[in-house]
Amino acid sequence: MSPHAPVPDAITATSCIVTAKSSESSENGASVATTSFRLPTALTWEIDDEVSLAIQEASKKMNKLCNDLDLFVHRFTKYGKNFIKKHKMSPDAFIQVALQLTYY
């Protein structure tokens, strides 16, 4: 599995197998779905007052945190991806080492 994959490979493979089993080929070789699924419907939630209040409080706290965020982006131009490639490092490993050295 790729470290950047949004889902494990087993899930992707299983999805492909299920899709392949649920389709047939048309005369020109294109896949044709053989199963029909119900259209998705909106979920209705029953939330009591306690949960509703907790959601409102969490939303207020999150908004306060977002409004209190200071962000500065520093563009580093001393070297870039060619340096990483030259030293045969993965970008992830390079960043991990940089973070560890920064912390140390």
Cβ burial of 84 (10 Å; 0-12, 13-18, 19+) is middle
Residues of the chain with pLDDT under 70: 1-8, 22-35
Has residue 27 been placed in a domain?
Answer: no
Has residue 42 been placed in a domain?
Answer: no
The answer to whether 23 and 34 are in contact (CB under 8 A) is yes
pLDDT for 17 equals 78
The answer to whether 23 and 31 are in contact (CB under 8 A) is yes
Total structural domains in the chain?
1
Has residue 90 been placed in a domain?
Answer: yes
**Structural tokens at position 101:** 């050295």
| pTM score over 0.75 | no
pLDDT for 67 equals 92
pLDDT for 12 equals 77
Has residue 83 been placed in a domain?
Answer: yes
Can you tell me the distance from the alpha carbon of 83 to that of 101, in angstroms, rounded to the nearest whole number? Answer: 17
Q: Which residue in 2, 3, 4, 25 is the catalytic one?
A: 4
Active site residue 4: yes
Helix locations, 22-90, DSSP H: 49-67, 81-86
pLDDT tens-digit readout, 57-80: 999 999 999 999 888 888 888 888
pLDDT for 50 equals 97
Q: Which domain holds residue 94?
A: 71-103
